[in-house]
Amino acid sequence: MSSSAYNKKKEYLTTSESLYKSAIYLAWPVILQSLLQVSVGTVDIKMVGTLGVDAISAVGTSRNIIMILLVLVMGISTGTTAMVSRFIGRGDERNASRSAGQAFLLSLMLGAFIMPVGLLTNEISLRLLGVENSVLELAVDYMTVFFIAIPFFLLHFMAKSIFQGAGDTKTPLVIDIIMNLVNIGGNFIFIFGMLGFPAMGVAGAAIGTALSRITGAALGWGALISGRFAVKVYPKDMLKPVWSVAGQIVRIGTPAALQGLSRNASTFVLFAILARTADAAAAVPAFVIGTNLNQYALMPGLAIGTAAATLSGMNLGAGKHERAEKSGKATAVLGAGTMLFISVLFVVFARPFISFFLDVPNEQVISVGRRYLAIIAASEPFHAVAIIASKTMQGAGFTKKPFQVTFFSWVVIRLILAYALAILFELDSTGVWIAISISSVISGVLAYGIFLGGEWKGVAIDPVSE
């Protein structure tokens, strides 16, 4: 993308009269990209589903543990997006490059930490979840391959965040399309054994995913270094630590990482609660399938949230505070409507969607899964508002209060309610579904209230001289 073309895009995002159009302009590639990202999980679960319900549970529980460790990269990416979008909004391309380069270094450092921790604790984590022995070995195999390739996952995620912070959402979409093709091909080869490779089952699904992440990292950082896109990253910024820049990224991103940790730790505990209910044999695979389906509603909301963060950061960088707030309101309405619409579709067509994942029909899993989708759908508009209000504030570098809202609603309220309803009141999995829905409503109301308070518009992000 030429400099003049990008300047026109930046001007459009900070001056367009219709904020809905600006949000959609940014969000539609991210929506497609997010759907592709979720489809990686769908393909994995569908393919390993031919190996039985235990294989589905292995992949689902493994990914939940993996996501708990990966919240750290969410923190770095949030800080990076906020800084890149602010500097681009100011027209300061040099500091945008410096921020992106420090994100590269932080990703490598984080990968060097997560890999050994993940490899050493995967079996312990699975046992804490109450995973049965029939699932344990499969899940350990999946997690081992994933953690070996974790640096490439982090680098791909970070490159995508840099593009999005600069308002370029189409380039990551193209990269994700290529990644999906690599993932599908890798799954066929390694799960079932093709082209001379042995059939590796669940571990083969992890190898396919790892190959796709390696591809994504190489393409993403190659594009950033080339200078032909929204941000040109200079290699010297990737190799030389600038602690004042890295410190700002970490300062902004740490509460966002804790916010992600709250969400994923909450889901981790929900798996443990479900494993101890009377209908656990159906509830755990139903939760894996239901959450995977629900991600098709969640990801567009997250994509619109990404657009909200970019619009917020760019407009604040350009000194347009009122426009930044209006963009948050417009994207919240757009996200709530989108997530509700998709969630209702899943409720109406729940049976065929759930059955798609089951190689052998299982009426109990279908019944529990349908109940999950119906109860969750009622709270999805509030869930969308919580996501997008938080993302708008995070795009400004305001991350502490969104974390506090998530911790209170997801960890305190959700887990207490889930345990009480499922175990003490013996509602089993239905009690967990109700707890998730109630806590999502509380989260949405609190996050939007803080957004309207306006404190987030006063956060300062400092440039760094040579």
Q: What is the tens place of the pLDDT at every residue in 242-291? A: 888 888 888 888 898 888 888 878 888 898 899 888 888 888 888 988 88
Q: How many CA atoms lie within 13 A of 337 on its CB side?
A: 7
Q: Domain for residue 223, yes or no?
A: yes
CB atoms near residue 40 (< 10 Å): 21
Structure confidence at residue 263 (pLDDT) = 86
**pLDDT > 70: what percent of the chain?**
84
What 8-state DSSP symbol labels residue 230?
Answer: S
459: amino acid identity, one letter? V
pLDDT at position 54:
59
Which of 298, 428, 312 lies closest to 35, judged by CA? 298
Spatial CB neighbours of 315, under 8 Å, sequence gap ≥ 6: 13, 14, 89, 321, 323, 324, 327
pLDDT of residue 1: 46
- The domain of 207 spans 18-457
Say if 9 falls within a structural domain: no
Residue 458 in 3-state DSSP? Answer: helix
Single pTM value for the model: 0.74
Would 62 be classed as within a structural domain?
yes
What is the rounded distance in angstroms from the CA atom of residue 139 to the CA atom of residue 145? 10
Query: For residue 245, is it within any domain?
Result: yes
What pLDDT, in 10s, does the model give residues 126-167? 676 566 666 676 777 777 787 888 889 889 888 988 888 887
303 part of a folded domain: yes
Residue type, position 70, single letter: L
Residue 208 near residue 191 (C-beta atoms within 8 A): yes
Which pLDDT score is estimated for 135? 64
Of the pLDDT bands very low, low, confident and very high (cuts 50, 70, 90), residue 42 is low
**What pLDDT sits at residue 41?**
64
What confidence tens digit (pLDDT) does each residue in 184-215 have?
888 778 877 777 777 777 777 778 888 888 99
∠ CA 2-320-18, nearest 5°, is 70
- Evaluate whether residue 5 is within a structural domain: no
Q: Report the mean per-residue pLDDT for the chain.
A: 82
2 lies in a domain?
Answer: no
Domain count, the chain: 1
User: What do you get for the CA distance between the two ends of the chain, in Å?
Assistant: 26
Does residue 50 fall inside a structural domain?
A: yes
Q: What length does the chain have?
A: 466
